[in-house]
Amino acid sequence: IMELLAERAEGYARFPQISTDNKSIEQVATEIQLLMNKRIIGVTYPGGSYNVTIGSDLLPHVRELAGIIGPAAVVTDSNVGPLYANQVRGDMVITIPAGEQFKTLATVNQLYGQLLAAGLDRQGTIIALGGGVVGDVAGFIAATFMRGIDFVQIPTSLLAMVDASVGGKTGVDLPEGKNLVGAFKQPKIVLADLLTLSTLPDEEFSAGMAEVIKGGIIADPELFALVEAQAVQLMSRSNADPDLLAVVVGNSDEVKRKIVQEDPYEQGRRAVLNLGHTFGHAIEQVSGYSVRHGEGVAMGLVASAHMSATLGHCSSELEPRIVQVLNSVALPTQIPQEWQAEAIFAAMASDKKKATGRLRFVLPRAIGDVFVTGQVSEDEVLETLRYCG
């Protein structure tokens, strides 16, 4: 039976999975009803699986959809908490200040104390309600508190819906760089409630589109072409077709699902998801994190395309096409001149994506075709940085 399950895992993952353990017939029926008319993507990993559920009006049904029985602590931030925390029906709400600068071990230590004071034990569940920072912090806490407790992801930003909430990577920053301390922690479920995007600031929505475009460049030319064709519709969110948003989020998650299933612990193929990130993370760091993650990634995508063309790996027409689609969703494509190329290169020195001391870059050959290389000289990196701003 175990061998058959392993052989069929990919097929089973194409469909929603509902656990019936310790549930009444009525509870199972309620879950089935809640899942109707929602897009559900099954993600498998060594030892288990979870669903990414994309739809509207999911927040009031978190306990049913996630199968939460014991106490649940909602971890959120000062922006999202006042808007949505009361809909989730957690037993306690813990709020951290909004912003990348609070994604630190000091914040984690503070939250450990609050969870202990509230009496949360190993039967508890951590619910991450917010963007990528909240998801990373809450996931890291769930991975380490009491040696690990259940974890539910509720991403409320586009960037978190299409990137940070899928794949099980969690972590916090050190002064030397981003995400240098972390753990893999798979969620019980990811619930992407598209209604939360209605309160997302325009600049944050744009930042999320950088990860959508990145996914298209990596492995989905049709997704990239959809954004090219529908950018105006997507950016006018009050008039946007909710089905269009569901397609964009769902197709982005499908790109990531396929890659993280192939490489759940980032030993090989998963590295392609770092397209634009070696440049982007360094730009964020040099800016003192005044640059949003998606904005850094956008600049990094242009830099990666330029470097690839310079090295002869792709057509010179690829870079302007990427620049055009990024501009269409209000993302920056030039690195501000006040940040020196040498300073950005120095920031890359602490990048955890290095291998055997060499920086690794993900470069595009074409839309839907990328590769990883460490064969790039310092001079070539500096030339690209200067060209891009």
Q: Which residues are catalytic?
A: 147, 169, 211, 256, 266, 270, 274, 277, 281, 293
Taken in order 238, 245, 140, 272, is the CA torsion positive or negative?
A: negative
CB 216 within 8 A of CB 364: no
Nearby residues of 166 by Cβ (< 8 Å), 6 or more positions away: 43, 52, 190, 253, 256, 257, 260
Query: Tokens at residue 129, please?
Result: 């309600």
Dihedral angle computed from the Cα positions of residues 222, 224, 229 and 235, in that order, rounded to the nearest 10 degrees: 130
User: How far is Cα 306 from Cα 384, in angstroms, rounded to an integer?
Assistant: 7
Distance of alpha carbon 275 from the chain centroid: 13
User: How far is Cα 325 from Cα 329, in angstroms, rounded to an integer?
Assistant: 7
Eight-state DSSP code of residue 349: T
User: How far is Cα 258 from Cα 289, in angstroms, rounded to an integer?
Assistant: 30
Query: Tokens at residue 48, please?
Result: 């288990």
Query: Tokens at residue 270, please?
Result: 């998963």
Taken in order 100, 202, 279, 164, is the CA torsion positive or negative?
A: positive
Taken in order 250, 254, 256, 260, is the CA torsion positive or negative?
A: positive
Amino acid type, 289: Y
Instruction: Name the 3-class secondary structure at 170.
Output: strand
Smallest CA-to-CA distance from 256 within 349, 138, 177, 153 is with 153
Indicate the angle between helix axes 341-348 and 378-387, nearest 10 degrees. Answer: 130
